[in-house]
A and B are shown apart, each in its own frame.
Chain A
Amino acid sequence: MRRFFLIAVPFVWLLVLFLVPFLIVLKISLSDAALARPPYTPHFEWAEGIWAFFSQLDFENFVFLTSDSLYWKAYLSSLQIAVISTFLTLLIGYPIAYGMARAPEEWRPTLMMLVILPFWTSFLIRVYAWMGILSKEGLLNQFLLWSGIINEPLVILNTNTAVYIGIVYTYLPFMILPIYAALDRMDGSLIEAAEDLGCSRLTAFWLVTVPLSRNGIIAGCFLVFIPAMGEFVIPSLLGGSRTLMIGKVLWEEFFSNRDWPVASAVAVVLLLILIVPIMLFQRNQQKQAEAEQ
């Protein structure tokens, strides 16, 4: 009985807060747009029966997604931005995590605190702060002009560059923490053993440190890639009109066009795309847990 309750709690939680909303979105994606409130049809009527209700649903909206190049271009562009920013985050996050793991013991809690500290402020405020830094009259341009490095202010805000900066900045802690956890667990004598057996510092890093932090790297990459793929706030605030991301398209379909069925279809396809990396991530976590037993 106790076991049943232990399993039932997360099960009900997922059912109510994930599966049911997903089924609602799926149902909307199979409906037609309508000038009504809510803006789609059909609605379920007890009088007409379940079969009549299902017969009105169709895949029209999914077919529509393939007919307009906007959608697949937005998916591809999101994929590109997510992949590149994941790579950049790894490039910046790994050395930080490495430095933290090699720092003196008494410094580590402080460094960890500094990585987590940004979460104490609202994400939205931090993105707005970046607008202030990156704009034409922003802090960055003022500083570069003042120091004489450039003569003309750089246009960064409302470009893809600003989106990359925003994503890398926002998701950096998600990359650092799993890699740090992996490096912190590593026995320092392994590096000495590698050097003792003829490795230079660099080959020891490549042959021992990197493979042993592999699970951390994979976890970090997924933790950045998955949310970056559907990111909507950063491209709409920092990106320009030419920044194409599926999250932004989704928002516009919902709120500007009020075309809920198409927007839902976009969301369902996005979820299908993300299921593959999410499952890979789960498998990685599971393998890691097994290896530690």
Chain B
Amino acid sequence: MAATEFAPWEDPQAKPLICFRNVTKRFGEFTAIDNVSLDIYAQEFFALLGPSGCGKTTMMRMLAGFENVTEGIIELDGADVGDVPPNKRAVNMMFQSYALFPHLTVWENIAFGLRRAKIPADDLTNRVEEMLKLTRLERFASRKPHQISGGQRQRVALARSLAKAPKLLLLDEPLGALDKKLRQETQFELMDIQEKTGTTFVIVTHDQEEAMTVASRVAVMDEGNLMQVATPDRIYETPNSVYVADFIGDVNLFKGTAKPVGEDQYQINWVESLPPLNATSSLPLNDGQSCHLAIRPEKVAINAEKPDDAVNAVQGKVVDIAYLGNLSTYYVELPDGTVIKAQTANTRRISRRSFTWEDPVWLSWTATAGVLLDS
């Protein structure tokens, strides 16, 4: 474990590498990015996460210089880059389609950017060899892109974009074209390379698992707005909105009205026929204010008998079981028709599973398990 954790975003003295200041981008009538301000620090692995059309790709293309900013300023290393064309920016991009030059060999593809920089021939050769080694492509140096596999192509694209040692590397859905197994391996490879080279990475992805795995911080985007910018665990454990809670992972959402019952303690009245739910939250809510309680399925315990010490407990019956191998998700229907998801690890063989369809069960969770969100 490192003695000091890498968290420059918590240090008010730290100077960001990239700074979006009230950036707006419009395409005609359509607002793709709506007044976004964001700081990204050097050596971060920063993920822009969101559904397609949320503006994450536009953010990246503005960083690369392919799109102009309509309003606001983007600073790179303290300098406004608004008028700097892509070929003059110390930023390189790895394209979703990889965009490898089909008429050039792997070696020439990697050397392409270095040749434009007019560096001496010896240095160029050394740098290309270094990149080939970093991405384990030495054996394929003289092949053309169509003669290698998808995973190898992905690594060529990475090597090519890293060759010029950019201050900032942009990755547009870098693993989207790979199959799941290879994607997982490559995620760790990416993190490894990011650490080795010390380059700042900004990755665009719609895959939340990928963003959570690789990133030091994640920005969740929706319709041109940043919904939340935080570390993966903060995003998951303390989402700041119903949108983020719902977008990241699986969640049970209960809509109700809050009633303060002590310091940071609330009772949530949600279904008339059922007892109120207890939750702890530092959110300042008024009596009767409507709110949502978000609880992750794995934080809901499932038992045959009512647990004695449970703060929140509801009874229902199992209507569906999603068996995922390592986990099972139970869909439990309450008397009023609400379905709650509860997840447990399958530590036993499936034949010895405690519950099956139509079994009456008790669901319970603690006061701090859920996150209270105002709606």
Give chain A's interface residues, CB within 8 Å of chain B.
187, 189-190, 192-200, 203, 207-208, 211-212, 214, 291
* A199–B87 touching, CB < 8 Å: yes
Q: Which of A196, A208, A211 contacts B64 (CB 8 A)?
A: A196
In the complex, the chain B residue whose C-beta lies closest to that of A208 is B101
In the complex, the chain B residue whose C-beta lies closest to that of A190 is B99
In the complex, per-residue mask of B319-355: 1 if CB is within 8 Å of any chain A CB, else 0: 0000000000000000000000000000000000000
A140–B100 alpha-carbon span in the complex (Å): 49
A201–B92 alpha-carbon span in the complex (Å): 16
| A contact residues around B102 at 8 Å (CB) | 212
* A195–B97 touching, CB < 8 Å: no
- 7 residue pairs from A and B, CB less than 8 Å apart: A187-B99, A189-B96, A195-B85, A196-B87, A196-B92, A198-B87, A199-B87
* A192–B164 touching, CB < 8 Å: no
* A189–B164 touching, CB < 8 Å: no
Instruction: With both chains docked as a complex, state the minimum distance between the C-beta of B324 and any C-beta of chain A, in angstroms.
Output: 36
A203 touching B86 in the complex, CB below 8 Å, given contacts A187-B97, A190-B99, A196-B93: no
Instruction: With both chains docked as a complex, state the minimum distance between the C-beta of A79 and any C-beta of chain B, in angstroms.
Output: 31
- Of B68-76, B111-119, B283-291, the one contacting chain A is B111-119
Instruction: With both chains docked as a complex, state the minimum distance between the C-beta of A202 and any C-beta of chain B, in angstroms.
Output: 11
| B contact residues around A211 at 8 Å (CB) | 103
| A contact residues around B247 at 8 Å (CB) | none
A257–B64 alpha-carbon span in the complex (Å): 71
| B contact residues around A208 at 8 Å (CB) | 101
* A197–B92 touching, CB < 8 Å: yes
A194–B161 alpha-carbon span in the complex (Å): 11
A291–B116 alpha-carbon span in the complex (Å): 27
In the complex, the chain B residue whose C-beta lies closest to that of A211 is B103
In the complex, the chain A residue whose C-beta lies closest to that of B89 is A196
A189–B116 alpha-carbon span in the complex (Å): 18
A195–B113 alpha-carbon span in the complex (Å): 9
* B86–A190 touching, CB < 8 Å: no
Tell whether B66 is near chain A: CB-to-CB under 8 Å.
Answer: yes
| B contact residues around A193 at 8 Å (CB) | 93, 95, 99-101
Q: Which of A189, A194, A207, A214 contacts B97 (CB 8 A)?
A: A189
A194–B115 alpha-carbon span in the complex (Å): 11
A19–B135 alpha-carbon span in the complex (Å): 57
| Given A193-B99, A194-B112, A197-B161: 7 more A-B contacts, CB < 8 Å | A192-B86, A193-B93, A196-B93, A198-B116, A198-B117, A212-B102, A291-B146
Q: Which of A187, A189, A200 contacts B87 (CB 8 A)?
A: A200
- How many positions in chain B have a CB within 8 Å of any CB in the partner chain? 24
Instruction: With both chains docked as a complex, state the minimum distance between the C-beta of B96 and any C-beta of chain A, in angstroms.
Output: 8
Instruction: With both chains docked as a complex, state the minimum distance between the C-beta of B170 and any C-beta of chain A, in angstroms.
Output: 9
Instruction: With both chains docked as a complex, state the minimum distance between the C-beta of B219 and any C-beta of chain A, in angstroms.
Output: 22
A105–B22 alpha-carbon span in the complex (Å): 34
| A contact residues around B101 at 8 Å (CB) | 190, 193-194, 208
Within 8 A of A (CB), among B51-107: 64, 66, 85-87, 91-93, 95-97, 99-103
| B contact residues around A200 at 8 Å (CB) | 87
| B contact residues around A199 at 8 Å (CB) | 87, 116
Q: Which 9 A-B pairs have the closest CB atoms?
A: A198-B116, A197-B113, A193-B99, A189-B99, A195-B86, A211-B103, A189-B95, A196-B93, A195-B87
* B64–A197 touching, CB < 8 Å: no
Tell whether B160 is near chain A: CB-to-CB under 8 Å.
Answer: yes
A85–B57 alpha-carbon span in the complex (Å): 46
Q: Which of A190, A194, A197 contacts B164 (CB 8 A)?
A: A197
A116–B89 alpha-carbon span in the complex (Å): 43
* A212–B103 touching, CB < 8 Å: yes
Q: Which of A189, A196, A207, A291 contacts B86 (CB 8 A)?
A: A196
A200–B87 alpha-carbon span in the complex (Å): 6
In the complex, the chain A residue whose C-beta lies closest to that of B111 is A197
Instruction: With both chains docked as a complex, state the minimum distance between the C-beta of A192 and any C-beta of chain B, in angstroms.
Output: 6
| B contact residues around A189 at 8 Å (CB) | 95-97, 99
Q: Which of A190, A192, A198, A214 contacts B113 (CB 8 A)?
A: A198
Instruction: With both chains docked as a complex, state the minimum distance between the C-beta of B51 and any C-beta of chain A, in angstroms.
Output: 22
A194–B160 alpha-carbon span in the complex (Å): 11
A197–B92 alpha-carbon span in the complex (Å): 7
* B85–A197 touching, CB < 8 Å: no
Q: Which of A192, A197, A214, A291 contacts B112 (CB 8 A)?
A: A197
In the complex, the chain A residue whose C-beta lies closest to that of B86 is A195
Give the interface centre of A192, A197, A198, A208 by most chain B CB atoms within 10 Å: A197
Instruction: With both chains docked as a complex, state the minimum distance between the C-beta of B109 and any C-beta of chain A, in angstroms.
Output: 9
A208–B91 alpha-carbon span in the complex (Å): 20
| A contact residues around B103 at 8 Å (CB) | 211-212, 214
A207–B101 alpha-carbon span in the complex (Å): 10
| A contact residues around B64 at 8 Å (CB) | 192, 196
| B contact residues around A192 at 8 Å (CB) | 64, 66, 86, 93, 95, 99
A196–B91 alpha-carbon span in the complex (Å): 8
A196–B93 alpha-carbon span in the complex (Å): 7
Instruction: With both chains docked as a complex, state the minimum distance between the C-beta of A82 and any C-beta of chain B, in angstroms.
Output: 28
| A contact residues around B86 at 8 Å (CB) | 192, 195-196
| B contact residues around A197 at 8 Å (CB) | 87, 92, 112-113, 116, 160-161, 164
Instruction: With both chains docked as a complex, state the minimum distance between the C-beta of B28 and any C-beta of chain A, in angstroms.
Output: 14
In the complex, the chain A residue whose C-beta lies closest to that of B88 is A198
| B contact residues around A212 at 8 Å (CB) | 102-103
| A contact residues around B161 at 8 Å (CB) | 196-197
A196–B160 alpha-carbon span in the complex (Å): 11
Instruction: With both chains docked as a complex, state the minimum distance between the C-beta of B124 and any C-beta of chain A, in angstroms.
Output: 13
